[in-house]
Amino acid sequence: MPGIQLFDNRRDRKSPFARFEKSRLGLYLHIPFCRAKCAYCDFYSFVPNEEEIMERYVDALILHMQSYRAGAKDYLPDTVFIGGGTPTALPIELLLKLIRAVKRNFTLAKGAEFTLEANPATVDVGMLRRLRWAGVNRLSMGLQSANNEELAALSRVHRREDFAESFRAARRARIENINVDLMFGIPYQTKKSLMKTLAYVVRLGPEHISLYDLILEPSTPLAKRAPGLPMPSDDEEADMYLAAVEFLAQNGYAQYEVSNFARPGYQCRHNLKYWNCEEYLGLGASAHSYFRDSRFSFARDVKRYMHGIEVPTSRIKMTDENDVISPQERIGEYIMLRFRLTAGLSDREFTRRFGFSFTQKYGKKMQPYISGGFAAYKDGVYALTPRGMFVSNYILSDLLDFEDLGQLHLFSGMK
Amino acid sequence: MAKEKRTHIRNFSIIAHIDHGKSTLADRILEFSKAVEKRDMEEQLLDNMDLEKERGITIKARAVRVNYKAPDGQEYALNLIDTPGHVDFNYEVSRSLNACEGALLVVDATQGIQAQTLGNAYLAVDAGLEIVPVINKIDLASADPDRVIGEIEDIIGIPAEGCPLVSAKTGLNIQDVMDAIVRDIPAPEGDTEAQLRCLIFDSVYNSYLGVVTYVRVMDGTVRAGDRIRMMSTGAEFDVVEVGFMDAFGLKKQDVLEAGDVGYITASIKTVSDTRVGDTITLAEGGAEEPLPGFEEALPMVYAGIYPADGARYNETKEALEKLQLNDAALTFEPETSAALGFGFRCGFLGLLHMEIIEERLEREFNLDLITTAPSVIYEVTLHDGTLVRVDNPSNYPAPEKIEVAAEPVVSANIITPTEFVGNIMELCQDRRGTFHDMKYLDAGRAELHYTLPLNEIIYDFFDTMKSRTKGYASLDYEMKGYEPSNLVKLDFLLNGEIVDALTFIVHSEKAYGRARRIAEKLKENIPRQLFEIPIQAAIGSKVIARETVKALRKDVLAKCYGGDITRKKKLLEKQKEGKKKMRQLGSVQVSPEAFMAVLKLDDDT
Nearest by CB: B530 against A28, A213, A374: A374
What are A43-72's pLDDT values in tens digits?
A: 888 999 888 999 999 999 999 999 999 888
Q: Could you tell me if B535 and B588 are in contact, meaning their C-beta atoms sit under 8 angstroms apart?
A: no
Taking 50 as the threshold, does the pLDDT of residue B351 lie above it? yes
Count of all residues that appear for chain A in the document = 415
Beta strand spans in B207-340 (E) = 210-219, 221-223, 227-230, 236-238, 241-246, 249-253, 255-257, 261-265, 279-282, 301-307, 331-337
pLDDT at B604: 44
- Report the C-alpha gap between A119 and B38 in whole angstroms: 76
Residue A206, CA distances (Å) to A87, A112, A129, A372, B265 in order: 20, 19, 18, 34, 90
Residues of B in contact with A414 (CB under 8 A): 566, 569-570, 573
What are B296-316's pLDDT values in tens digits?
A: 777 889 999 999 888 899 999
pLDDT at B295: 82
| 8 Å CB contact of B576 and A290 | no
Among candidates B86, B116, B112, B81, which has minimal Cα distance to B98? B81
Q: Work out the average pLDDT over B147-157.
A: 91
Q: Could you tell me if A345 and A383 are in contact, meaning their C-beta atoms sit under 8 angstroms apart?
A: yes
Residues of B in contact with A285 (CB under 8 A): none
- Find, in chain B, the residue whose alpha carbon is nearest to that of A241: B554
Distance from CA of A333 to the nearest CA of B (A): 8
Distance from CA of A234 to the nearest CA of B (A): 6
Residues of A in contact with B555 (CB under 8 A): 390-394
pLDDT at A12: 42
Report which of residues A163 and B599 the model is more confident about.
Answer: A163
Q: Could you tell me if B459 and B430 are in contact, meaning their C-beta atoms sit under 8 angstroms apart?
A: no
In one letter, which amino acid is A328? Q
Given its phi and psi angles, is residue A135 left (phi above 0), alpha (psi -120 to 50 degrees) or beta?
A: left
Q: pLDDT-based confidence at A306, cuts 50/70/90?
A: very high
Does B555 lie at the interface with A, CB-CB under 8 angstroms? yes
Distance from CA of A5 to the nearest CA of B (A): 19
Q: pLDDT-based confidence at A111, cuts 50/70/90?
A: very high
Q: Work out the average pLDDT over B76-105.
A: 87
Query: What are the extents of the domains in chain A?
Result: 4-275, 330-404
Residue % of chain A over a pLDDT of 90: 73
Residue A54, CA distances (Å) to A42, A139, A317 in order: 20, 21, 21
Residue % of chain B over a pLDDT of 90: 50
Q: What is the CA radius of gyration of chain B?
A: 27
pLDDT at A379: 94
Taking 50 as the threshold, does the pLDDT of residue A219 lie above it? yes
Mean pLDDT taken over chain B? 87
| 8 Å CB contact of B556 and A390 | yes
Q: Could you tell me if B546 and B519 are in contact, meaning their C-beta atoms sit under 8 angstroms apart?
A: yes
Q: pLDDT-based confidence at B206, cuts 50/70/90?
A: confident
Tell me which of 3.20.20.70, 3.30.980.20, 3.30.559.10, 3.40.50.2300 is the CATH number of domain A4-275: 3.20.20.70
- Find, in chain A, the residue whose alpha carbon is nearest to that of B574: A397
Q: The complex's ipTM? A: 0.85
Mean pLDDT taken over chain A? 89
Pick from A273-282, B56-65, B405-414: least confident: B56-65
User: How many other C-beta atoms can be found within 10 angstroms of the C-beta atom of residue B428?
Assistant: 22
Taking 50 as the threshold, does the pLDDT of residue B439 lie above it? yes
Nearest by CB: B556 against A28, A258, A280: A258
CB neighbours of A285 closer than 8 A, spacing ≥ 6?
A30, A32, A44, A57, A298, A299, A300, A301, A302, A304, A305
Nearest by CB: B563 against A238, A290, A391: A290
Examine domains A4-275 and A330-404 and report if their fold is the same.
no
pLDDT at B44: 45
Residue % of chain B over a pLDDT of 70: 92
Among candidates A171, A111, A96, A98, which has minimal Cα distance to A141? A171
Does B579 lie at the interface with A, CB-CB under 8 angstroms? yes
Q: Could you tell me if B219 and B195 are in contact, meaning their C-beta atoms sit under 8 angstroms apart?
A: yes
Q: pLDDT-based confidence at B595, cuts 50/70/90?
A: confident
pLDDT at B601: 54
Q: pLDDT-based confidence at B4, cuts 50/70/90?
A: low
| 8 Å CB contact of A274 and B560 | yes
Chain A interface, mutation test: which of B530, B531, B556, most A Cβ atoms within 10 Å? B556
Report which of residues A325 and B86 the model is more confident about.
Answer: A325
Q: Enumerate residues 33 to 72 of chain A having a beta carbon within 8 A of any beta carbon in chain B.
A: 43
Taking 80 as the threshold, does the pLDDT of residue B35 lie above it? no
| 8 Å CB contact of B576 and A400 | yes
User: How many other C-beta atoms can be found within 10 angstroms of the C-beta atom of residue B592?
Assistant: 18
Q: Work out the average pLDDT over A303-327.
A: 88
Q: Work out the average pLDDT over A228-251.
A: 96
Among candidates B208, B42, B179, B197, which has minimal Cα distance to B104? B179
Q: Could you tell me if B212 and B270 are in contact, meaning their C-beta atoms sit under 8 angstroms apart?
A: no
- Report the C-alpha gap between A212 and A203 in whole angstroms: 20
Q: Work out the average pLDDT over A231-241.
A: 95
Pick from A14-18, B79-83, B121-125, B153-157: least confident: A14-18
Distance from CA of A50 to the nearest CA of B (A): 26
Taking 60 as the threshold, does the pLDDT of residue B57 lie above it? no
pLDDT at B533: 92
Q: pLDDT-based confidence at B559, cuts 50/70/90?
A: low
Taking 80 as the threshold, does the pLDDT of residue A221 lie above it? yes
Count of all residues that appear for chain B in the document = 605
Distance from CA of A172 to the nearest CA of B (A): 29
Taking 50 as the threshold, does the pLDDT of residue A408 lie above it? no
3-class SS of residue B466: helix
- Report the C-alpha gap between B407 and B309 in whole angstroms: 34
Residues of B in contact with A397 (CB under 8 A): 572, 575-576, 579
User: Domain A330-404 adopts which CATH fold?
Assistant: Arc Repressor Mutant, subunit A (1.10.10)
| 8 Å CB contact of A369 and B530 | yes
Does B551 lie at the interface with A, CB-CB under 8 angstroms? no
Counting Cα atoms < 13 Å in the Cβ hemisphere of A308 gives 24
Q: pLDDT-based confidence at B579, cuts 50/70/90?
A: confident
What are A69-101's pLDDT values in tens digits?
A: 988 888 999 999 999 889 999 999 999 999 999
Q: Enumerate residues 345 to 364 of chain A having a beta carbon within 8 A of any beta carbon in chain B.
A: none
Global confidence as pTM:
0.69
What are B242-264's pLDDT values in tens digits?
A: 999 877 678 899 999 999 999 99
Q: Work out the average pLDDT over A19-25.
A: 77
- Report the C-alpha gap between A190 and A236 in whole angstroms: 8
Q: Work out the average pLDDT over B355-373.
A: 89
Distance from CA of A16 to the nearest CA of B (A): 31
pLDDT at A415: 29
- Find, in chain A, the residue whose alpha carbon is nearest to that of B552: A391
pLDDT at A146: 95
Distance from CA of A237 to the nearest CA of B (A): 8
Q: Enumerate residues 522 to 541 of chain B having a beta carbon within 8 A of any beta carbon in chain A.
A: 529-531
Residue A204, CA distances (Å) to A207, A262, B55, B154 in order: 10, 14, 71, 95
Taking 90 as the threshold, does the pLDDT of residue B1 lie above it? no
Counting Cα atoms < 13 Å in the Cβ hemisphere of B325 gives 14
Q: pLDDT-based confidence at B139, cuts 50/70/90?
A: very high
Pick from A58-62, B80-84, B141-145, B341-345: least confident: B80-84
- Report the C-alpha gap between A297 and A304 in whole angstroms: 13
Report which of residues B281 and B460 the model is more confident about.
Answer: B281
Identity of the highest mean pLDDT range in A111-125, A248-262, A326-340, B358-372: A248-262
Taking 50 as the threshold, does the pLDDT of residue A413 lie above it? no
- Report the C-alpha gap between B564 and B142 in whole angstroms: 67
- Report the C-alpha gap between B416 and B426 in whole angstroms: 13
| 8 Å CB contact of A391 and B555 | yes
Pick from A61-65, A197-201, B54-58, B522-526: least confident: B54-58
Residue B600, CA distances (Å) to B325, B334, B377, B603 in order: 29, 23, 20, 10
Through-space distance between the first and last CA atoms of chain B, rounded to whole angstroms: 65
CB neighbours of B482 closer than 8 A, spacing ≥ 6?
B379, B406, B407, B408, B409
Residues of A in contact with B588 (CB under 8 A): none
